[in-house]
Amino acid sequence: MSTTAPRALIAEDEPLLAAALRHELAQAWPALQVVASVGDGRTAVREALALRPEVLFFDIRMPGQSGLDAAAELADAWPAGQPFPALVFVTAYDQYAVQAFEAQAVDYLLKPVQAARLARTVARVRQALAGRTAQGGAFEEAMLARLRGVLETLAPVGVSSAGSPLSPGGPSSADGTPPAARLPVIPAGIAGTQGAVVRMVPIEEVLCFEAADKYVRVLTAGEEYLIRTPLRQLLPQLDGEDFWQVHRGTLVRASAIDAVTRDESGRLGLTLHGRPERFVVSRLYAHRFRAM
Amino acid sequence: MRTMAPMQRFDLRSWARHGLVTAAFSCAIALALTVTGQGAWDVQLAYSLGIGLVAWLVIDLGRHLLAPGSGWPAGWRGALLVAAGTGAGYVAGTALGDAYSGHSAPLWQREAVPTSLVITVLAGVAISFFFYSRAQARQLQLHMAQAQRDAAEARLKLLEAQLEPHMLFNTLANLRVLVATDPARAQAMLDHLIAYLRATLGGSRSVQHPLADEFERLRDYLELMAVRMGARLAYQLDLPEALRGVAVPPLLLQPLVENAIRHGLEPQVQGGRITVRASTRPGRAGMLLVLEVQDTGAGPAAPAPTSGAPGSHFGLAQVRERLATLHGSDFTLDLIAGSAGGTCVTITFPLQTTP
């Protein structure tokens, strides 16, 4: 049991519902201190990083960024060495998300929030916080794995239960079609060509896909191209054995990984054969490199 | 038109049924011929059954070969098949009858040829026509059932779009809070919800209602959303006094306002403003009613929001379809992206005031 009072952040875009959850929490968990109540996903991430509360209540549908995307971004940006907060999703009705939460045993609340259900969730969260104190890293690892499970289930559009296209050994594609052995990438030499030069890059040459603003950067040894297809549309067309997701916005060719290192702040990163830059590894995907 | 899977296979049961009916019919003919003194009953039966069953085999198997799955070959091919079957039945069946009775004169030298040929042709055409019309009726029935299923599916989809569970549960969650904290406001919100549900679930789809009622229903929905969204939603309903009685299809504008909320305002952190406006302008053949739904939201080019919400295209298509049913091609529906963000949907159709 931690000695200081646990602190919470509520992210809910409907003001009445945010106030109500705060009110209900005051009864169900008097010791919990709600340090911030925000109305959109981006603010939620910013405030969570600034305040580092122990418990997060994230509504799923929020303007700007959904609660799920916010959770993923937070996992990527959360400082190393700091315990990741206990996360509770809140939803009025999101069939697929609820199925994923059930499957992964991730905590969630249904709106309208009812006292008995909230009491059960609070008990679980308190247990989790106690377990985190007692078991440290292993406990957090398990929690992140569950969150990863939910995100991977829900991320590729249209995939609800087939599992992650990128999990090693799992199904490679949602609709049963074989993974594209050769992706006809439509690239443009980034430096100055503005799409004037398009080269068909064979997938075998690609070392890394990296989301960058409106584009996805396609990196080969010594070359860089841009495509407009979003990463999440790209995912089902790639072989999960070949490309590993190491960050919300980064897929790397597994066989090209050179070295995995921690920087001075404890963040995991990796380098690829044939590329000079260092790629940040999200704590969500750090489990892949545990043995190293 | 959809293909009907169960009819694709060779339907053994209907084939056997046809055979039995044909056999029964042949027996009836044999009986009639015996009674009218045309010869011994067993000989008549042999000829009659022989002709009938051969004709049935040729026609039913030919039917399956020429038009697998769809019942009968269309047009002249069907007629030709019946003619061929009847002819084959006559020749082969007579031979069978001859073998049974020991009759040996060639077909064309017999006195009874015209009678039995006439009977064969009449019976063949009659039975074929009987089976043909029954198959047609069955096809028609299947098509009607399919059309009914399609219509039910479309209604369900419409209802799902209007009674989006996410919207309902969030509204109920807000109500649950207000019941404890602000009962008067809870009651007002409940009244709006009741009016909204009554209008959405109501069976008054076909009749028209005054524009004033249409705007009241929009107000119900917008009030519900205003409680939920708080300061993020501002709205304005502009209905000139003179247009209050104009008849419009019920909930015509509802999908447009829902789109403005769901795809315009909800994705934006700062929310926005919705304006619904009715006006008139002169057209080529009299005055036109102009209905506008304008928002300051994310705009039509913005990426679709997260899972679950039906696309805005469904709502637009639905409005377009209803206008086409009522006005043929005599209407316009325009979606314009605002220069400073946001979307404006404008509908025009001939003005018709209620008496």
Q: Domain ranges for chain B, please list them.
A: 5-154, 163-350
How crowded is the C-beta side of B179, counted as CA atoms within 13 Å? 8
Q: pLDDT tens across A43-57, in order?
A: 999 999 999 999 999
Report if residue A33 sits inside a domain: yes
Q: pLDDT tens across A61-101, in order?
A: 999 888 998 998 898 888 877 888 999 999 998 888 888 88
Chain B closest-CA separation from residue A51 CA (Å):
21
Report if residue A97 sits inside a domain: yes
Residue B191 pLDDT more than 80?
A: yes
Q: Which residues of A touch B267 (CB under 8 A)?
A: 63-64
Number of domains in chain A: 2
Report if residue A194 sits inside a domain: no
Question: Which A residues 103-132 touch B at CB under 8 Å?
Answer: 110-113
Chain A closest-CA separation from residue B196 CA (Å):
19
Report if residue A263 sits inside a domain: yes
Domain at A62, CATH number: 3.40.50.2300
Residues A12 and A125 in one domain: yes
How crowded is the C-beta side of B67, counted as CA atoms within 13 Å? 16
Using an 8 Å Cβ cutoff, are A13 and A55 in contact?
no
Report if residue A184 sits inside a domain: no
Residues in a beta bridge with A260: A270
Q: Which helix (H) or strand (E) holds A26?
A: helix A15-28
Short-list B273, B165, B267, CA closest to B226:
B273
Using an 8 Å Cβ cutoff, are A9 and A90 in contact?
no
Residues A98 and A210 in one domain: no
- What tokens appear for B61 in the block? 């198997």
Report if residue A50 sits inside a domain: yes
Report if residue A174 sits inside a domain: no
Range of the domain at A239: 203-289
Q: Which residues of B touch A93 (CB under 8 A)?
A: 165-166, 168-170, 308
Q: pLDDT tens across B246-301, in order?
A: 999 888 999 899 999 988 998 899 999 999 999 999 988 889 999 999 999 888 76
Quickly tell me which residue has 């559009």 as its tokens: A157
Residue of B166, B227, B296 to mutate when probing chain A, most A C-beta within 10 A: B166
Tally helices (H) and strands (E) across chain B: 9, 7
Chain B closest-CA separation from residue A158 CA (Å):
9
- What tokens appear for B18 in the block? 């046809």
pLDDT grade for A193, boundaries at 50, 70 and 90? low
* Residue B202, Cβ density class (10 Å: 0-12 exposed, 13-18 middle, ≥19 buried): exposed
Report if residue A209 sits inside a domain: yes
Residues A218 and A150 in one domain: no
Residues A17 and A87 in one domain: yes
Residues A12 and A147 in one domain: yes
Residues A123 and A33 in one domain: yes
Residues A107 and A230 in one domain: no
Report whether CATH 3.30.2420.10 matches the domain B163-350: no
ipTM score: 0.74
Residues in a beta bridge with A9: A36, A56
